[in-house]
A and B are shown apart, each in its own frame.
With several copies, the nearest count.
Chain A
Amino acid sequence: MSGDRVIFEEGQIGRRSNHQAPKVMVDCDLPQAFLRSRPPPLPEVSELQVVRHYTLLSQKNFSVDTQFYPLGSCTMKYNPRVCNTMAMLPGFLGRHPLEPDQTGQGVMASLFELQEMLASVSGMAGVSLSPMAGAQGEFAGVSMIRAYHQKNGDTERIEMLVPDAAHGTNPATAALCGFRVREIPTDENGDLDIVSLKGAVGPQTAGLMLTNPSTLGVFERRVEEIIAIVHDAGGLLYYDGANLNAITGRTRPGDMGFDAIHINVHKTFSTPHGGGGPGAGPVGASQRLKPFLPVPMVTCDRVGGEPVYRWLNQDDCPDSIGQLSAFMGNIGVLLRAYVYLRMLGGAGMRRVADYAALNANYLLAKLTAAGFTPAFPNRLASHEFILTLKPEADNFGVTALDFAKRLLDYGFYAPTIYFPMLVPECLLIEPTETESKEELDRFVAAMVAIRQEAIEDPKLVKEAPHNIPVPGGGPGRLDETQAARKPNLIWQKD
């Protein structure tokens, strides 16, 4: 079928969808030296071929719309279709970013209200929507911390503390912001090791980046103490909001004492992941960091009682860390988050955390009862939790990777594996609040069945996947080593 070939292989020299091409009357009069000598090697295919090819390819994906997707740390919950439909209204799509504010009052009203609502949910004093993903939100937050210290002449604070369980973007961002990264270990209950933290802080400490609930799926119980330790040392606190879904309406990073936070709207606010983005990473600031928020932001003036929205730029915010991209951020994504938030309201945001936690703890209880080993048996799960398959690996030679691949055969996407790196053979499982009890029960049944297979027929599990439910069946386990050793990154005519 078409999906098995690459689009280039569908092409024929001279095949054209010319209803897509504009009419050209005068020929180009640019000097030859500026021009391309050969046409670009793009496929020459018909519109039907394109539609068929990419429709079939789409069917080769697992997605939230088709499968349970318990990918820990990623919050793969239902992305309401109405958010897409509304963000794709022609009035929103057609407007150029540099048009006068007058032609964007509709979108700007929504962005302004989104800023306010995110501030309210997170407990921060101000929010800028411009970062384009979580990692850029982190960059904004950490840059603000740096700018703050610089403004205070506190130039010796060159170290950023990062828990060993932190997501990779945390240390990578700290490095990009020019900080030396210092890792803080985690104790056996999944809490940050306070003794080590105390040992690590000092006059060189710019701040600490914390995820809470942590990537271990548990709430950092001594967060107040941690914050006090860092604050007392003159450092600031960064909150990685990727796990905000666990606590919306239950507790607020701002109330905990964090100075900066980013929010993955593509997690908690249910904008789609799109197979890898775009997301958006709005950044929030405490009162002291507010002046440093990245521009642009939307402000609202009242003119004759009517709200008039306007972009704030570096001129309006002289202390701002500035713009982080060419325009105003991933507006279309932010509109989706706005629509979502409007449908949930405050009570709805609390229900998100309540039922995300309910599903996670239920699944944990069921899997534990079925004989699986939780990484932190004495802890409540947050919206996600970790199993270690070390017993299974030791006893039957079947790894977390094998379990993951075999789950695909059962029609489930796999949990996150081997992250966080602290827990051996770990599965990080996040069911989200939008899955039903029946679906969770089916997942438990599949896990139990796979373990039985691991006992009776380990090869079956070790060589999975075998029958991926996509058209054409999908390939078996792919060789990643070969791919990395001899990278084949672009198609070439042979």
Chain B
Amino acid sequence: MPFIPHTEKDLQDMLSDIGISSLDGLFAEIPESLCCEAPQLLPALNEMEVSRLMGERAGKDGGMLGFIGGGAYEHHIPAAVWEITTRGEFYSAYTPYQAEASQGTLQVLYEYQSMIAGLTGLEVSNASLYDGASAAAEAVLMAVRCSRKKTAKVGVPATVNPRTIKTIANLIGQQGIELVEISYDLKKGCIDPASLSQYSGNDLVAIIIPQPNFFGTIEDVDALTDWAHGEGALVIGVVNPTSLALLKPPGEWGHAGADIACGDGQPLGIPLSSGGPYFGFLSCQKKWLRQIPGRVVGKTQDRDGNVGYVLTMQAREQHIRRSKATSNICTNQGLMTVAATIYLALLGPSGLLDVAKASLQNSQILKEKLTAIPGVDLLYSGHTFHEFVVKLNRPVDTVLKELYKDGIVAGLPLDSDCLLICVTETKTLEDMERFSNCLETIMSRSFS
């Protein structure tokens, strides 16, 4: 039997030890009216058959030259990352409840927390959340808990990824929190700090600051942070982790630094995989530590002074605090943090910086190439990291379809004539030339 080791003899011996005569007897407590037959599923395949099926299906998927970002980013993943991460000892372990038998996972998580804290410039980190968007929702809830204000208004700039905004709204919808939209400078593609005065005195509990923002544009995080702190609001930075090798970390924004930083860890060694699994990271200033959601690992000792690691501050969590927990999260994205930790160790500070710089460089190159094409214009004037928005003088839909025929997935359509384009270190000069040449050809054709 697939994956079941029992022989016929085992079965009989065990039934007799239990003192029943058949497997049916094990289910005697289920009311007869509820008993069912085995479900009718797709026919069972052996491993050979399922391997062939999946091989064929995988063969159909992907394979394009892709320039989409919008929250998930293609980066080179060193082979060592997943060869180690999928080792059975990491892969098939549970949440490290028995610390002494889980030092592998626990130490990795401790190192992970240290790296995330270091990257974001903050003092503490949890051990992961589901994804960047749900981490942002947890950050909002956390900020509300941290605040002593009576209101529960949170400022959310329109430059935040709309998927993140929707997720926040859906996850915190029942908590009586009001999300106040903060508008942005339509020329620059980022928030004009001067425009924030309109939100002053609004009693915001917190504001979110995306960096880089959804349009790839770099926000003036210092001014935004100082403004928010001046309003007595906490600052939640939603950041791209790759960019942090290059850009000022949230912990250093403005005079006091962001209070909480979060984001999607996918760029740190996690495959695109049609959308998941990724992981959310969340770090904060030490003063907010007791409000942090999710698991946290701490260093401790045994009786003989040997160092070891344990899950700690569990009193915040659902299995102890139940309805009063800081979050309902239990299973998080543990294995993804193993991969990210190995990724960051392999890249190191200079390697990660090179990834950020190469991405920036490539996006500058592509930006220049594309905007040199008649009918293609840059939409925003702000500085960008590895994404930017172009406006086309014809329907984006049609252009995308044409490029698709050339094997190119050109970007994320923002509306009928705008396209969000992303380039990372994975693209060569030839790739970018291929893209711009194809686009040029298409744009030079008359409208159809």
Contacts and interface: CB of A to CB of B under 8 A. Distances in A.
Say if the two chains contact directly (CB < 8 Å). Answer: yes
B71 interface: yes
A35 B47 CA distance: 28
B7 A14 contact: yes
B194 interface: no
A24 B298 contact: no
A40 B343 CA distance: 14
B78 interface: yes
A106 interface: yes
Contacts of B88: 51, 55, 63-66
- Which of A27, A277, A463 gathers most chain B CB within 10 Å? A277
B64 A99 contact: yes
A198 interface: no
Contacts of A219: 27, 29-30
B4 A366 contact: no
Interface in A57-97: 57-67, 69, 71, 74, 76-82, 84-86, 88-97
B164 interface: yes
B34 A223 contact: yes
A132 B354 contact: no
B3 A107 contact: no
Contact of A273 (B94, B99, B349): B94
Contacts of A351: 1, 4
Nearest to A476: B302
Contacts of B330: 133-135, 167-169
B3 A47 contact: yes
Contacts of A169: 318-319, 328, 330
A480 B314 CA distance: 10
A102 B123 CA distance: 44
Interface residues of A, number: 215
B418 to A, nearest CB: 15
Interface stretch (B114-122, B146-154, B371-379, B438-446): B114-122
A96 B272 contact: yes
Contact of A491 (B29, B110, B248, B355): B110
A85 B83 contact: yes
A172 B54 contact: no
Given A84-B91, A362-B17, A332 B41 contact: no
Interface string A408-427: 10000110100100000000
B29 A380 contact: yes
Contact of B357 (A27, A110, A255): A27
A339 B54 contact: yes
B47 A19 contact: yes
Interface stretch (B101-109, B197-205, B229-237, B387-395): B101-109
Given A22-B354, A361-B18, A490-B123, A345 B60 contact: no
B39 A15 contact: no
A59 B89 contact: yes
A478 B103 CA distance: 11
B34 to A, nearest CB: 5
Interface string B279-309: 1000000000100000111111111101111
A24 B354 contact: yes
28 contacts: A12-B9, A14-B8, A19-B3, A21-B347, A22-B46, A40-B244, A57-B103, A63-B90, A78-B3, A97-B275, A274-B91, A275-B338, A324-B171, A325-B276, A326-B167, A327-B274, A343-B2, A343-B50, A349-B38, A355-B4, A365-B17, A380-B29, A419-B319, A465-B100, A487-B124, A487-B313, A488-B298, A489-B298
Given A18-B2, A380-B27, 11 more contacts: A40-B245, A63-B93, A67-B101, A90-B58, A92-B61, A100-B400, A110-B54, A167-B330, A327-B278, A351-B4, A480-B99
